Chains A and B, each alone.
Chain A
Amino acid sequence: MQHAIDKASLGPKSKALTQGVEACVHCGFCLPTCPTYDEMGEEINSPRGRIFLIKEVLEGSVPMEDALGPIDNCLGCDACITACPSGVEYDHLITAFRAKAESERSQPLGRKLMRSMILNTLPYPNRAKWAFRAGGLVRPFKGLMPKSIQPALDLLPPTLPKAEYLPEIYPAKGPRRGRVALLTGCVQQVLAPEINRATLEVLSANGVETVIPKDQACCGALALHTGAEKRALKTARQLIRSIPDDVDALITNAAGCGSGINEYSILFAGEPDEAEAIALADKTKDISSYLDEIGLIQPPPLAESMNVVYHDACHLAHAQGERSAPRNILTAIPNLTLLEPPDWEICCGSAGIYNIEKPDVARALGEKKVTNLMSTEPDAVALGNIGCMTQIQKHLESYEKAPPVLHTVQILAKAYSD
């Protein structure tokens, strides 16, 4: 699409901010997969509309203030990227634009407090644990709390699982086929520590030694996706420093983290350590992609047969383009039948902190997702992202016989141990 954006004024982010505008041919193919368009049926709340709007803001014909509503409504689910035949890198566009918006916006106190509370707790496992505990305690008094934090309280688990002790090195079983580092994740470590345990077991069973750097930090995804760039840079730098050079890959088992690291090229654009950041991003792989790449060691059959429906996490399927590896893993397990839900491409409404900031849209999407998953009558739901896991579990609560929601590696680990 033609534009009159003054690229020179945009600095190092100019490529991210203009590629999408230039590549978009306004064909509308992205509209049907966009959850907000589906809900609202308005051009301005569609990917195509947002791209147009961003263009106008960057051209200076629409004030930033007027664009914030529809930009905030975007879940960052990246479904539009998968749908786009023209190669629009919408993820880079929205991330870069949000960072710009965040630095320019005047925001109401409530939103500021909410964001600050989230960004100061979730990325830090210890703080998150305390916050969740405290939140759990106050949940009964939810009605007395300010409206802006009620949705956050709704998502809190009633109790927290016991923390997993993670060694510094987890050895490979049998001949060694690789050595990797594991990103343990922030929220995930607190809410579902068993995912990291399963990841280690599965890697080990596949002859891979895992290093778990003690001083690792949050990847910065949560901050980056909400436009809090400085904060993202700080923690990303610490993560980069903590990963040893002699590993084949940095493994992520939460899709949100993987896609966040993939965006280091945007975050670090023009920074002195840009090259190092990109090098780490190139090395970063989702656990499913890594296993698929090195070739899975044939798992034994599950003790009991199981029908598993696979949920494509947006940040794995759309943002990282990985749909086949998790399916290859699941179908490799004897005694497991893989089921596919309708409308796989539509977001479950979790999307980072979206379910906290836009609870109504998030709820509608969560309900739709769970209905679609349940229509396949599964024994279990498999997925690769902690955010989706929490959201889907929450919406399954209303079902009498809710199937367990598991990470792909948890099922694989079960097969290896059965």
Chain B
Amino acid sequence: MELLPELAKLYPSDRLFTKKSQLITYETDGLTSFRSEPLAVVVPESNEEVIATVRLCHKAGIPFVARGSGTSLSGGSMPVEGGIVITLNRLNKILKIDPENRFTVVQAGTVNLKVSQAVAAHGLYYAPDPSSQQICTIGGNLAFNSGGAHCLKYGMTANHVLAIKAVLADGEVIEIGSESGDTLGPDASGFFCGNEGLFGVALEVTLRLTPKPQRYCTLLAAYNSLKKAGDAVSSVVDSGLLPGAMEIMDRLAIKAAEMAVKAGYPQDAEALLIVELEGETDAVEEDFKHLLALIENTGAYETRVAANEAERLTIWKGRKSAFSAVGRLSPDYLVQDGVVPRSRLGEALVKIETYSKEYGIDVANVFHAGDGNLHPLIMFNGKEEGALHRAEELAGKILKMCVEMGGSITGEHGVGVEKKAYMPEMFSEIDLECMKRVRAAIDPKEIANRGKMFPGGEAPALSTVGSHPLEKAGIISRE
């Protein structure tokens, strides 16, 4: 079957892109070191169109990639060469708001922040807050089980997804989970979260809404060493306080963020710690007193408290702009996303610093300290011969360190294409084999986001998985 003529029957020409000038703008995502050109890009306006597209791809055996806003930092939404990109940006309607039962149903292309804006009038919001929240989509969040500064207290995307309607890679439409969050048997929607686009395309997502905290108390503490800031995080956690967010930025990240948003961060600090408490007014104010006393003993040389909402938002704006702002310091960078046990944060930071010196490559650090989720930004100039390669080597070293320390190669940005080579560091062959089997059951032709997440090339279906022993014995068959 020729796919393009079939797609042309499904889409008018202004929603089916095949010209080079159109295709190239979808070549890459937030990780521009990896690029590839798709065969076509489609802009569906209904679930039916998405479903029909997936079915056509399945029939033709041509891979597809679902794409939200293309902010993936791991090459997750990079097209598969010669495949189809299904953009979900026009499927961005909020279908239902149920303030009483605190949930909302949205189309997968809805932007994260728009959900909170739409329910704000009811005193509710959508808690997961990736730094890219003003543009990343719920579909992308779901695929990567995205987190954010406030996921320390509230959990990642998976903790807020109640139900999902999706079309699987073989064209089957499923509805899993329930509005109430009660499900019989395994947590199917939890299972769908973090699939990195390998199962199919999410169409509609039911999200849990959270009441807006009555009061926020936010402080900014400046340190003359990264280690002190890291240790401060441990003391806060050990004290039993449960902050909504705890974030650290190092000198380079502070500099970049300050250039971008003029947040008024202390410019001479080696590290900044942001801690935010939130909840009911009385309790938060009481806890905040404890927090301030505690921070005083952590060696902070300056502590500032956000006096009002505007000051609080400025503090956060600086933090949330930090990744992109590093573009002001370096033409190119790789953002890593490794996790270490929180208690070993200080140690990990010292190691990264040593690696950075060893390679002669600057590394800015900005991270979700409360979860031990590091985000080293490895800076390089792609124009220099071999610079990307060296940056990748350094990134690899950091990832290995994370695994060795008992952490993970990714906290929230996903494996994508970028980290797939490191999967074997974390998972045994048997683990990977098991994952492949799950994938094969859902997507026998491996057309959904082919070539991502699993180590190795774009191995065609079955060859990576091999036949199941029962197949070999002729007991079952996939045909």
Given contacts A24-B327, A25-B333, contact A61 B25 (CB under 8 A): no
Does B46 sit at the interface, judged by CB under 8 A?
no
Does A347 sit at the interface, judged by CB under 8 A?
no
Does B290 sit at the interface, judged by CB under 8 A?
no
From B27-35, B351-359, B409-417, give the one contacting chain A: B27-35
Bound together, the chains give a CA A87 to CA B135 distance in angstroms of 18
* Contact between chains at A27 and B30 (CB < 8 Å): yes
Chain B residues positioned under 8 Å from A22 (CB to CB): 331
From B14-22, B57-65, B277-285, B390-398, give the one contacting chain A: B14-22
* Contact between chains at A53 and B32 (CB < 8 Å): no
Chain B residues positioned under 8 Å from A41 (CB to CB): 43, 87, 89-90, 92, 109
Chain A residues positioned under 8 Å from B136 (CB to CB): 28
Bound together, the chains give a CA A1 to CA B28 distance in angstroms of 11
Per-position contact with B for A60-98: 1 when CB-CB < 8 Å, else 0? 011100110000000000000000111100000000000
Could you tell me which residues of chain A, from 17 to 69, have a CB within 8 Å of some CB in chain B? 22-29, 31-32, 41-44, 46, 48-49, 52-53, 56, 61-63, 66-67
Chain A residues positioned under 8 Å from B71 (CB to CB): 27-28
Given contacts A2-B32, A2-B383, A24-B327, contact A85 B135 (CB under 8 A): no
Bound together, the chains give a CA A122 to CA B260 distance in angstroms of 37
In the complex, the chain A residue whose C-beta lies closest to that of B109 is A41
Per-position contact with A for B319-338: 1 when CB-CB < 8 Å, else 0? 00111111110011100000
Does B267 sit at the interface, judged by CB under 8 A?
no
* Contact between chains at A2 and B332 (CB < 8 Å): yes
* Contact between chains at A44 and B328 (CB < 8 Å): no
CB distance from B50 to the nearest CB of A (A): 14
* Contact between chains at B24 and A56 (CB < 8 Å): yes
Given contacts A32-B135, A85-B261, contact A43 B328 (CB under 8 A): no
Given contacts A41-B89, A87-B260, contact A66 B24 (CB under 8 A): no
Given contacts A2-B383, A85-B321, contact A31 B69 (CB under 8 A): yes
B24, B327, B331: the one contacting A85 at CB < 8 Å is: B327
Given contacts A67-B21, A85-B260, A85-B321, contact A28 B32 (CB under 8 A): no
Per-position contact with A for B156-182: 1 when CB-CB < 8 Å, else 0? 000000000000000000000000000
CB distance from B106 to the nearest CB of A (A): 15
Chain A residues positioned under 8 Å from B24 (CB to CB): 52-53, 56, 61-62
Number of chain B residues whose Cβ lies closer than 8 Å to a Cβ of chain A = 46
CB distance from A346 to the nearest CB of B (A): 13
* Contact between chains at B21 and A86 (CB < 8 Å): no
* Contact between chains at B25 and A53 (CB < 8 Å): yes
* Contact between chains at B135 and A23 (CB < 8 Å): no
CB distance from A181 to the nearest CB of B (A): 31
Does B111 sit at the interface, judged by CB under 8 A?
yes
A25, A26, A44, A46: the one contacting B21 at CB < 8 Å is: A44
* Contact between chains at A28 and B132 (CB < 8 Å): yes
Does B259 sit at the interface, judged by CB under 8 A?
yes
Chain A residues positioned under 8 Å from B467 (CB to CB): none
* Contact between chains at A29 and B132 (CB < 8 Å): yes
CB distance from A178 to the nearest CB of B (A): 27
Given contacts A28-B132, A66-B19, A86-B324, contact A43 B331 (CB under 8 A): no
Chain A residues positioned under 8 Å from B22 (CB to CB): 44
In the complex, the chain B residue whose C-beta lies closest to that of A55 is B24
Bound together, the chains give a CA A41 to CA B71 distance in angstroms of 15
Per-position contact with A for B435-463: 1 when CB-CB < 8 Å, else 0? 00000000000000000000000000000
Q: Which residues does A use to contact B, with CB under 8 Å?
A: 1-2, 22-29, 31-32, 41-44, 46, 48-49, 52-53, 56, 61-63, 66-67, 84-87
Q: Which residues does B use to contact A, with CB under 8 Å?
A: 17, 19-22, 24-30, 32-33, 43, 69-71, 87, 89-90, 92, 109, 111, 113, 132, 134-136, 257, 259-261, 321-328, 331-333, 382-383
* Sampled A-B contacts (25; CB under 8 Å): A1-B332, A22-B331, A23-B328, A23-B331, A25-B327, A26-B30, A28-B69, A32-B134, A41-B43, A41-B90, A42-B87, A44-B17, A44-B21, A44-B25, A52-B24, A52-B25, A56-B21, A61-B20, A61-B24, A62-B20, A62-B21, A85-B261, A85-B324, A86-B260, A86-B324
The 7 closest A-B pairs by CB, nearest first: A86-B327, A41-B89, A85-B321, A66-B21, A85-B324, A25-B327, A49-B25
